[in-house]
């Protein structure tokens, strides 16, 4: 009984910020600063949502985030799955060391790489481009994809590979026709985690993209702070909830595959 009570309390605490954001987004602008604040507005309005959807910059940024996130997912899955298959099925000198160094890169604070990455992208002419974000995000999320897919591929019996090779299949054919179909949950888990991370990333996008038409959704929402004479909290709340929609839909569609991928990929054999 105590456990259920604690879980209920934790759930309510976790959901309260989302509820408060929804309440703020439905509050008329002239009442958002009222004191004492109301848990729920007496006269809810969708004005903030219509204002946000009517802004071209927000819609463009929404599309930009989708392009960058999907591009990051595709590149990360292709590179990560190839590397994971090599690590899972091959034995070569320095394998464990390379794996250790790959995971060790995730321990480096992202802020420490920001200036070198900015200089690099400026020197190769990729500032203010989506490709810059896709490359940086892929490099950041690749260790997670490799580690997750490696564990999942190792859970697939190696005898399946050997049987296919005996029948004349190449390594590429084994990967495409056997490993990938059996790795659906692992791919779904990796894709979901990568998409969410790329969609929610703020600091790199703010630094690398200065052109409004190339800007992604998170820096665009930040611009509403002080953009008008005072901070428009209703617009920020509405924009935040709209930005959550793709992530929520993705989780609803892939929740079973996500759970299966995270659990199966964590167990070998």
For range 143-158, the mean pLDDT: 90
pLDDT above 50: residue 33: yes
Q: At 208, list the tokens.
A: 């690398």
Spatial neighbors of 224 by CB under 8 A, at least 6 apart, are 231, 232, 235, 236, 239
Do residues 179 and 53 make contact, with C-beta atoms less than 8 angstroms apart?
Answer: no
Q: Which tens digits make up the pLDDT trace of 87-96?
A: 998 888 888 8
Indicate the average pLDDT of the chain: 88
The pLDDT value given to residue 252: 85
- DSSP 8-state class, residue 54: T
Rounded CA gap, 41 and 32, in Å?
9
The pLDDT value given to residue 103: 85
Q: Which tens digits make up the pLDDT trace of 134-145?
A: 999 999 999 999
Q: What is the CB-side half-sphere exposure of residue 189 using CA atoms within 13 A?
A: 25
* Structural domain boundaries in the chain: 57-264
Q: Which CATH architecture has domain 57-264?
A: Orthogonal Bundle (1.10)
Quick one: pLDDT band at residue 40, thresholds 50, 70, 90? confident
Q: What's the pTM?
A: 0.87
Rounded CA gap, 29 and 235, in Å?
9
Q: Map residue 128 onto helix, strand or coil.
A: coil
pLDDT above 90: residue 205: yes
Quick one: pLDDT band at residue 102, thresholds 50, 70, 90? confident
pLDDT above 80: residue 228: no
For range 89-112, the mean pLDDT: 86
């Amino acid at each position: 009984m105590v456990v259920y009570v604690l879980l209920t309390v934790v759930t309510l605490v976790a959901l309260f910020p989302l509820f408060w954001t929804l309440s703020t987004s439905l509050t008329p602008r002239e009442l958002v600063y009222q004191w004492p604040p109301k848990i729920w507005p007496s006269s809810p309005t969708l004005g903030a949502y219509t204002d946000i959807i009517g802004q071209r910059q927000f819609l463009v940024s929404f599309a930009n985030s989708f392009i960058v996130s999907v591009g990051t997912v595709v590149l990360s899955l292709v590179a990560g799955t190839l590397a994971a298959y090599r690590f899972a099925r091959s034995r070569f000198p320095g394998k464990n060391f390379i794996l250790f160094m790959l995971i060790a890169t995730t321990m480096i604070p992202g802020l420490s790489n920001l200036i070198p990455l900015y200089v690099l992208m400026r020197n190769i002419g990729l500032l203010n481009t989506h490709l810059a974000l896709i490359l940086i995000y892929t490099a950041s999320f690749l260790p997670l994809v490799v580690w997750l897919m490696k564990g999942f591929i190792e859970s697939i019996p190696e005898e399946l590979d050997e049987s296919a090779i005996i029948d004349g299949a190449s390594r590429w054919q084994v990967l495409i026709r056997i490993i990938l179909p059996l790795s659906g949950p692992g791919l779904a888990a990796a894709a979901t985690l990568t998409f969410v991370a790329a969609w929610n990333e703020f600091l790199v996008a703010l630094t690398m993209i200065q052109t409004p038409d190339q800007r992604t959704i998170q820096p665009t929402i930040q611009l509403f702070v002080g953009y008008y004479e005072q901070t428009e909290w209703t617009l920020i709340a509405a924009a935040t909830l709209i930005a959550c929609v793709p992530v929520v839909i993705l989780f609803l569609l892939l929740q079973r595959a996500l759970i299966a991928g995270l659990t199966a990929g964590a167990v070998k054999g």
